[in-house]
Amino acid sequence: MRRSCFAKWFLLFLFPLLLWGGGVHKSAIFYYGSDISWPLVGAHDYIVVQPDHIDEYTHGFRTYRNKVYAYVSVGEAEEGQWYYSKIEKKWIIARNGAWKSDVMDLANPAYRRFFLDRVIGRLKQRGFENLFLDTLDSYRLAKLTEKERERQRKGLVALIKGVKARWPDTKIILNRGFELIPELKGMVVAVAAESLYRGIGGKELRYRPVKAKEREWLLARMKKAAEKGLDLIDIEYLPPEKLAKEGPKLLEKVSDRGIIGYVTDRDLLHYGITVNKVAKREILMLYDGTSYAREYQAAHQYGSLPAEYLGYVPILADIRHGLPPHAWERYAGVVVWLDRPYAHPKKLARWIVENASEGLKTLILGISPFPYDTKQALAMLGMDAVKNSEAMETFHVGSVQAGKMMNYEQKIYPKYHETLLRPKNGRALYSYTNGEGERDVLAALMPWGGFALDEASMVEFNGDNIWTVNPFELYERALKLPSIPIPDPTTENGRRLLFTHIDGDAFIDRVEWDQSRFASEVIRDEILARYPIPHSVSIVEGEIAPYGLYPAISKKMEAIARSIYRLPNVEAATHTFSHPFVWGAIDEKGDLPLKYRLPIENYHFSVDREIEGSLAYINTKLLPPYKPKAKTVFWSGDCLPTEKILDYVYRHDLLNINGGDTYITKAHPWLSLVSPYGIRKGPYWQIYCGEQNENLYTNEWHGPFWGFKNAIQTYEMTDYPKRFKPIDIYYHFYSGSKRASLNALKTVFDWAMKQDVMPIYTTEFIPKVMAFYDTSIERLENGWRVHGLGALRTLRLRGGETPDIARSEGVVGYRKLPQGLYLHLSGSDEISLHEGPTEGVGAYLLSSNGKVGGYRKRPDGFSIDLMAHVPLEAVIKMGKECRVVASPLHLSLRRQEGRVYLRYRTVKRAHFDVQCP
């Protein structure tokens, strides 16, 4: 009985500890690896990283920078740290043998100045706004008196106050350091502690359970921190192999106490267990780079588009560099698309099975990576292969069994195979029997994913590659991809995006029908001035500058360029200085042989001169001072910048576009001719154009010169039945040199002006694609929370869901189209989407050709500011009892079938206030 009474008393003592954490609704992640997944970490409130492993120039870092906390070891220094060699020996007071690091003298003002100036200062220069301060109590490892320990504690307080004095907006998390909190009021946002239940300890840093007394001690101090209004974070440690199975239960224990929990491995190199249900948006695309660069791999050219259309991010990886361990922590699926059998088939089969045991499915396309005589590898995957008893000379097809997703763009005609594949525990999607009655399975869904091999995936015909299986359905079913809200850079406010950009080639070409005029003048007068939509125009500096190829006409060329850039609907970009033809030919010293660029006299090639130098020329010599500075490079030549070149662009905070070969037409109506949005190289993304330029439609400018008219077919076929792309009218100045090409260009523009579009600048499109790749999506109980949207303002729903606008935040309306339901967003970086019918909402935005500049939802309606580059149009869904007040007032207003159509003749910005009783 006493024991029972004691137990009750003990529970009463602990009960307040269950609920005092104020941050249970928040989440934290600690990831110290070097290849961070921003779509996976971006949804968290606290993203703690090892700064030396992070590239601060990536779009992902810049998107989530205000939530990123740089790990900083305050009380210890290790030899691997960049500043270790600059540390004076007199600043070291002890050694931490377990972590092989030196303990620093925090009481020493010289060390504190060094730390602020060199360590924190460097992080601030790199763009890290917030700090996670670790090793705060390491001074206890030194043999110090109580008085000396107090000096260390005061030194710590002085250092942290020094950070806040110099950088007041810095948010700080302390790792323990509980004794410091009373003196740091308002300077700390959260306190983290390691190991309420599972920790590491001893010289070998082994995983161990935490004793009850240790936990009680820690909980008591965390309670006091919570009373100061701080968020509480607890980090639990498990061996990597136990994270998936034991992590969730351990996290639940922590969360039940009202504490932000995170369960990870000892080295924080795994994506651990968090309370947030973040959608894994990345699909690992494995290829073999032996023969081709990644840009030419089937995994990229054909396999990436289905992933992107479904809302997932393709991450290309060369299988020669190994199979990533614990891939299930990060990826939503794996696609293996090789052009030859894999050198280590058993290793690959084992990896696939291990992934499947953790819920990560694999889809194999194209050539089988497993030689058919590798019985052990096939057996691991539940398959077998037998020798075909029929000779090739007598081969013929008997019965065929094909699922609905097969025979997609082209009917499958089975070919002769020396061996026949037999899955033992899968569901065949396509099989046939040969003349001997033997069965061969070319496509199947398997417990570990699925496969579509050889002619059951794609066939080649007249130089075109044609899908014989529906890749969208196959990806969904084989990889078990959840339906998620899809960030969509093709559409905004229910209208397809329209942008146009000109590569600067042939600015100096003479016009065939009037040798006194230049193609650039014709484009200016017949296109840029005639079609009052945004245009993005680049020049090749080496073509028009006085020190370039044509000094005799340079004065005239520069005058034309200035007149173009003075047009109110034109923004500037560079097409480089010497128009590199082959970017990959730039050598290690940064030089490019003359045969790979324009032969400009006395010019020594440099990437800096090509990009930043040409932009400086445009901004200072050609662009009016009142216009935004040019900051975009339109890739030239082969449009294949290397990772090193992209690193340059990102480091200089520039935008980039071009590449990709989207030119699907009725003559070549194949999905393989639609490119993905871009390609990842290292941590950077090269952004592809929407559709290709006139060069491809005119057989590389050999004729027919009216061929660009066929781009209209491309625009239509990338819109319906699936909208893959915005409309991108992409061309060169030489289209103004011939009547046929100029008329073709006018035909394209005339068609585009009649479409239901939102015209934007190229510089507005590129960030939308970059946001697509880094957006983080979190599953809620009855909806979603989407983070890091930035410039991207549309989500596409494809699973029959409808948004509940009344309960959603940052959602201003939606529009149902045959291609899907497009959700209009307010422009907030973070929105919440609740599913279900829209009830209690009398009105919402149905469509507009202007972007949202401001939005406020009220119980009786909403107010919205819309800004367009052309005369503003908007359609608002609203009942008869609702009314709309517009400012300015002079507009055409028409009601029809529960909709109000608003249209201005000249006004491009307006405020609408919608009121519903």
**pLDDT averaged per 10 residues in sequence order, the chain, 917 residues:** 28 38 76 96 98 97 98 92 90 88 94 96 97 93 91 95 97 95 95 94 86 95 95 96 93 95 95 95 97 95 98 98 95 97 95 96 96 88 93 91 97 94 94 94 98 97 96 98 97 98 97 97 98 98 97 98 98 98 96 97 96 98 97 98 98 98 96 98 98 96 97 98 98 98 98 98 98 97 94 90 88 95 95 79 92 94 97 94 92 90 96 93
The per-residue pLDDT for range 482-523, each reduced to its tens digit, is 999 999 999 999 999 999 999 999 999 999 999 999 999 999
Using DSSP bridges, classify how beta strands 92-96 and 776-780 pair: parallel, antiparallel or unpaired: unpaired
Buried/exposed 644-681: b ≥16 CB within 10 Å, e otherwise: bbbbbbbeeebbbbbbbbbbbbeebebbbbbbbbbbbb
At position 742, the amino acid (one-letter code) is L
Q: What is the largest CA-CA distance in the chain?
A: 108
Residue 729 pairs in a beta bridge with 500
For residue 403, the number of C-alpha atoms closer than 13 Å in the C-beta half-sphere is 18
- What is the distance in angstroms between the CA of the first residue and the CA of the last residue of the chain? 65
H helix or E strand, kind and range, residue 304: helix 304-309
In this prediction, residue 79 carries a pLDDT of: 87
The arrangement of strands across the sheet holding 331-338 comes to 313-318, 282-287, 331-338, 362-366, 449-453, 439-446, 427-433, 400-402
Closest CA to 262 of 243, 285, 286: 243
Closest CA to 271 of 26, 50, 31, 27: 31
Q: Is 202 left (phi over 0), alpha (psi -120 to 50) or beta?
A: left
pTM equals 0.95
For residue 400, the number of C-alpha atoms closer than 13 Å in the C-beta half-sphere is 16
H helix or E strand, kind and range, residue 464: strand 464-467
The arrangement of strands across the sheet holding 883-887 comes to 851-858, 861-867, 909-915, 883-887
The per-residue pLDDT for range 873-896, each reduced to its tens digit, is 999 999 889 999 999 988 898 999
Give dist(CA 710, CA 795) in Å, integer. Answer: 30
In this prediction, residue 838 carries a pLDDT of: 63
Residue 495 pairs in a beta bridge with 492
Token output for 484: 């998620």
In this prediction, residue 6 carries a pLDDT of: 26
List Cα–Cα distances, 150 to 89, 147, 319, 474, in angstroms: 22, 5, 55, 65
